[in-house]
Chains A and B, each alone.
Chain A
Amino acid sequence: MKRSTFSLKRASKHGGLIALVILLLFNILVTPNFFQLQTLSVNISQVATIAIVAMGMTLVIATGGIDLSVGAVMALSGALAPLIFGSQFGIDYPVLGLIAALCIPMIVAMLCGWFNGAIVAYIGVQPIIATLILFISGRGIAQVLTNGNLQTFQNPAFSYLGTGKILGLPFQGWLALAIAAILALVISRTTFGRYLLAVGGNERAASLSGGPVRKVKIGAYIICSALAGLAGLIVVAINSASDAARNGELMELDAIAAAVVGGALLQGGRAPVFGAILGAVIIQLVKYTLLANGIEDEYALIAKALIILAAVYLQMGRRGKHA
């Protein structure tokens, strides 16, 4: 009896990494052309955007909340960027235009995050409902701005965000890792990070200990939306086109799935930032494994569902039965 719980505990602690290793080995051995730069690039590209949003989602989940509006925020920020550097101002002053095209969407995204956070923290509405508002209307705003049109453009400087390469691997992959490192430091070394985990772990205790609960929650939502805004810009950069109707569609589900597989607990209190990347990678790898070996996309969805269940179940085993 003791033996099996011991190995189950071990498995769940490193389960994510073990699963990753298995998947990688399987693909290296079985799938043709797997370990080639091209394949890796494509995969990293797709994973990076999900991972970036998932990291923000992890922070929000750590406070015990959820953010359904990330897809809409992606669409919104992705719609704004081409409008800015494609405008008269942007054409006349290309450098300023580029900077504005990067900054203004991010600021707008952060405002969305502030909106979400304020409703949750000050009005006391449940996060799932509060973020539903932008989920419904955010994409609409984006489409109003673009008149529902697909915007294509040519802007090599901006496109670097999506297509640039460092050491042969996509820029956004490095960006995701850098963000993870920064967030991990923030969580483990700053008061904000400590309070964040405390608020999720036991909000009343955090408040009674003098923790600035409201500010921390709003901060988490702002960061989440900012990262979603960044992801929106990246997607637009990759495609050299902004489609407000499609950008970030269903991203909230992918981000939540990745965060949860990566170890985030829905009731809050944990913020495994690198886990979010791991979760996104595992899900993406399974999808790719199936696809590359001739199995249709639809089965990948079923596989994804099973991965989520398995990951959560194993992690629950780790916490054990505690009252």
Chain B
Amino acid sequence: MLLSMSGIVKNFGGVPAVSNTTLELQAGEVHALIGQNGAGKSTLIKVLTGIYERDSGEVLFEDSPCNFQSPGEAQVGGIATIYQELNLVPLRSVTENVMMGYEPKRFGCFIDWNEAHKRTRDILARFDIDIDVTEQLGKFSTAIQQLVAIARAVSLEARLVIMDEPTSSLDASEIETLFGVVRDLRSSGVTVLYVSHFLEELYEICDRVTVMRDGQSVAVHEIQNKSKLELIGDMLGRDADEIEKEGMTQLGHGFVDTGELLLEAVNISTGQRLKNFNLSLHRGEIVGLGGLLGAGRTEAARALFGIDPLITGKLRVSNQDWTPLSPREAIEKGFAFLTEDRKVEGIIPDMSVRENLTLALLPVLSRGGQIDRAREKEIVQKYISDLGIKTAGMEQPIRELSGGNQQKVLLARWLITNPAILILDEPTRGVDVGAKREIQLIIRDLVEKGVGVILISSEFEEIVEGANRIIVLHEGESVTELTNPGITETALINALAHGHVGAA
């Protein structure tokens, strides 16, 4: 046994993120770790690699107890991690990102750059990548950056390599390359811990799988013995048959007749990352945007909301031509945009729930520059109770709320503006299972009231079950459209991986 984690407990501010969890890895296996957002997977990994300190539990690595205090220690100890957020430094060169801290030296202290570049090229060649390694990392696509991150882990000769959503931005051929690398690692005795949303992939390269739910490990299986539906059942804590009948999310809404055309986007481009985007949206409709990481989904949303200026293309809102020049104008036109990363673009951490909630509505709530405090409190109270936001009061600083409740406040920020078109970018990311259901119900409710929703989500079941139509983006262009009823996750994944109409 290479790694044994048992009885792991980790609390944040009294709330358990991980409790009584077990994870056991054999040497030389590829082991999958699956679970919904908020199930505790990344917390468990961060406990193992020394980013968090565990509250209790035992960790045995290579038969000796270990308690890494920092990622550096974990690396030295033989565990390398590749995070989805790609913890690399874009301003520095590719070679530096791969070799940093372990550069080949001459006379013991002077970096031998020629050797460093050569080694980096050699490692990348194993992945069939041939790039200028002296160039800044940030100049390359997300896919290349992801492979560079993996190259670093490989070059560190770790005994355990943890990969967190490694294929989220890779196309079909790049995925094959990655799988080759993983098989390579396995045959040289390295263990791989593989975290992924794409359950199909696991069947191709994983041996066993651990399922997490609500902060606990609930099952361990030989992957070939379980069907995908059974795995999903373990993840959701529901019966597999029930899921098959009722769906995984709360978003399926029977695809009622949709209303008139709300929005039409033709040939939109804003730069390198969004080159040709087309979309039409009707009242009461959910249009999903599908695509890999870096395909341009968020860029499409930013274009519609007036954040990035349009280079080409036209927008028509309710049959009138319109050019979005700023978020403020978009809001006045009836758009709302719940962004992807609430920490970076969403919450104002030191402000209260009330202040965060009304931020987009201030022009409406004030007269002559002065805010109508009474009206503000009234309307905030209404939304707190309507959305079931758990808070000690509207004056509580938002940073003290849980992820799910913060997300609800942000959702309320937009709902309060009474939008006609609501763009949601990963609305249930980092949100616990209970809040996730509630948010999904709120969305469904909105749609039934006639709001048009554009949904971006990396939890495929949300778009597969919820969207009337899915527009698939590939490298900044909308390439395919799938229509419900009838979309299956397989069809979606195929469309994403191959990226061209008719290539499936």
Q: Do A and B touch (CB < 8 Å)? A: yes
Q: Which residues from chain A sit less than 8 Å from chain B, CB to CB?
A: 189-192, 194-195, 197-198, 201-202, 204-212, 269-270, 322-323
Residue from the list A191, A195, A202, A269 in contact with B345, Cβ < 8 A? A202
Interface residues on B, range: 20 to 34
B351 touches A197 (CB 8 A): yes
Knowing A197-B348, A198-B348, A202-B347 are in contact, say whether A209-B371 is a contact too (CB < 8 A): no
B359 an interface residue at 8 Å Cβ cutoff? yes
B344 touches A191 (CB 8 A): no
CA distance A227 to B413 in the complex (A): 35
Query: For residue B183, which residues in chain A have a CB less than 8 angstroms away from its CB?
Result: none
B362 an interface residue at 8 Å Cβ cutoff? yes
Interface centre among A207, A210, A269, by most chain B C-beta atoms within 10 angstroms, is: A210
Beta-carbon nearest neighbor of A198 in chain B: B348
B369 touches A205 (CB 8 A): no
- Other A-B pairs, 9, CB within 8 Å; known A197-B351, A205-B348, A209-B327: A190-B366, A197-B350, A202-B348, A206-B359, A208-B305, A210-B332, A211-B362, A269-B350, A323-B343
B313 an interface residue at 8 Å Cβ cutoff? no
Interface centre among B326, B330, B347, B349, by most chain A C-beta atoms within 10 angstroms, is: B349
Offer 17 A-B interface pairs, CB within 8 angstroms, sorted by A: A190-B369, A194-B355, A197-B355, A198-B348, A201-B348, A201-B351, A202-B344, A204-B344, A205-B345, A205-B348, A206-B359, A208-B307, A209-B331, A210-B327, A210-B328, A210-B360, A269-B350
B350 touches A195 (CB 8 A): no
> Would you call the interface of chain A mostly helix, strand, loop, or mixed?
helix
B370 touches A189 (CB 8 A): yes
Residue from the list A190, A205, A208 in contact with B371, Cβ < 8 A? A190
B362 touches A191 (CB 8 A): yes
B450 an interface residue at 8 Å Cβ cutoff? no
Residue from the list B351, B360, B373 in contact with A189, Cβ < 8 A? B373
A202 touches B349 (CB 8 A): yes
Residue from the list A190, A207, A212, A322 in contact with B349, Cβ < 8 A? A322
Q: How far is the CB of A127 from chain B (nearest CB, A)?
A: 20
B371 touches A211 (CB 8 A): no
Q: How far is the CB of B449 from chain A (nearest CB, A)?
A: 23
B314 an interface residue at 8 Å Cβ cutoff? no
Query: For residue A322, which residues in chain B have a CB less than 8 angstroms away from its CB?
Result: 349, 399
Knowing A269-B350, A322-B399 are in contact, say whether A194-B345 is a contact too (CB < 8 A): no
Beta-carbon nearest neighbor of B344 in chain A: A204
Knowing A209-B413, A212-B328, A322-B349 are in contact, say whether A198-B369 is a contact too (CB < 8 A): no
A201 touches B350 (CB 8 A): yes
A189 touches B371 (CB 8 A): yes
Query: For residue B345, which residues in chain A have a CB less than 8 angstroms away from its CB?
Result: 202, 204-205, 208
Q: Can you list the 7 inter-chain pairs with the closest CB atoms, starting with the nearest?
A: A201-B348, A210-B328, A209-B360, A209-B359, A210-B331, A204-B345, A202-B348
Beta-carbon nearest neighbor of A323 in chain B: B343
Q: How far is the CB of B357 from chain A (nearest CB, A)?
A: 11
B296-347 CB contacts (< 8 Å) to partner A: 305, 307, 326-328, 330-332, 337, 339, 343-347
Q: How far is the CB of A300 from chain B (nearest CB, A)?
A: 33
Q: Which residues from chain B sit less than 8 Å from chain A, CB to CB?
A: 305, 307, 326-328, 330-332, 337, 339, 343-351, 355, 359-360, 362-363, 366, 369-371, 373, 399, 413
Beta-carbon nearest neighbor of A197 in chain B: B351
Q: How far is the CB of A86 from chain B (nearest CB, A)?
A: 38
Query: For residue B360, which residues in chain A have a CB less than 8 angstroms away from its CB?
Result: 209-210
Q: How far is the CB of B162 from chain A (nearest CB, A)?
A: 21
Query: For residue A209, which residues in chain B have a CB less than 8 angstroms away from its CB?
Result: 327, 331, 359-360, 413
Query: For residue B369, which residues in chain A have a CB less than 8 angstroms away from its CB?
Result: 190-192
Query: For residue B307, which residues in chain A have a CB less than 8 angstroms away from its CB?
Result: 208
CA distance A269 to B355 in the complex (A): 12
CA distance A50 to B363 in the complex (A): 35
Beta-carbon nearest neighbor of A192 in chain B: B369
CA distance A212 to B332 in the complex (A): 13
CA distance A269 to B330 in the complex (A): 25
Q: How far is the CB of B350 from chain A (nearest CB, A)?
A: 5
Beta-carbon nearest neighbor of B302 in chain A: A208
Residue from the list A191, A207, A210, A270 in contact with B350, Cβ < 8 A? A270
Q: How far is the CB of B347 from chain A (nearest CB, A)?
A: 7
Beta-carbon nearest neighbor of B366 in chain A: A191
A201 touches B362 (CB 8 A): no
Knowing A204-B345, A210-B328 are in contact, say whether A198-B337 is a contact too (CB < 8 A): no
Query: For residue A206, which residues in chain B have a CB less than 8 angstroms away from its CB?
Result: 348, 359
CA distance A101 to B99 in the complex (A): 65
A205 touches B355 (CB 8 A): no
CA distance A206 to B356 in the complex (A): 10
Query: For residue B326, which residues in chain A have a CB less than 8 angstroms away from its CB?
Result: 210
Q: How far is the CB of A213 from chain B (nearest CB, A)?
A: 10
Q: How far is the CB of A152 from chain B (nearest CB, A)?
A: 43
Q: How far is the CB of A277 from chain B (nearest CB, A)?
A: 21
Query: For residue B332, which residues in chain A have a CB less than 8 angstroms away from its CB?
Result: 210
Query: For residue B349, which residues in chain A have a CB less than 8 angstroms away from its CB?
Result: 201-202, 269, 322
CA distance A209 to B307 in the complex (A): 11
CA distance A269 to B347 in the complex (A): 12
A198 touches B351 (CB 8 A): yes
CA distance A194 to B352 in the complex (A): 11
Knowing A190-B371, A191-B366, A202-B345 are in contact, say whether A208-B327 is a contact too (CB < 8 A): yes
Q: How far is the CB of B417 from chain A (nearest CB, A)?
A: 9
CA distance A210 to B413 in the complex (A): 12
B347 touches A205 (CB 8 A): yes
Beta-carbon nearest neighbor of B417 in chain A: A210
CA distance A198 to B366 in the complex (A): 16
Beta-carbon nearest neighbor of B12 in chain A: A323
Residue from the list A205, A211, A269 in contact with B346, Cβ < 8 A? A205
Query: For residue A205, which residues in chain B have a CB less than 8 angstroms away from its CB?
Result: 345-348, 359
B363 touches A191 (CB 8 A): yes
CA distance A175 to B330 in the complex (A): 43
Query: For residue B331, which residues in chain A have a CB less than 8 angstroms away from its CB?
Result: 209-210
CA distance A201 to B343 in the complex (A): 11
Residue from the list A212, A269, A323 in contact with B348, Cβ < 8 A? A269
CA distance A323 to B360 in the complex (A): 25
Query: For residue A195, which residues in chain B have a CB less than 8 angstroms away from its CB?
Result: 362
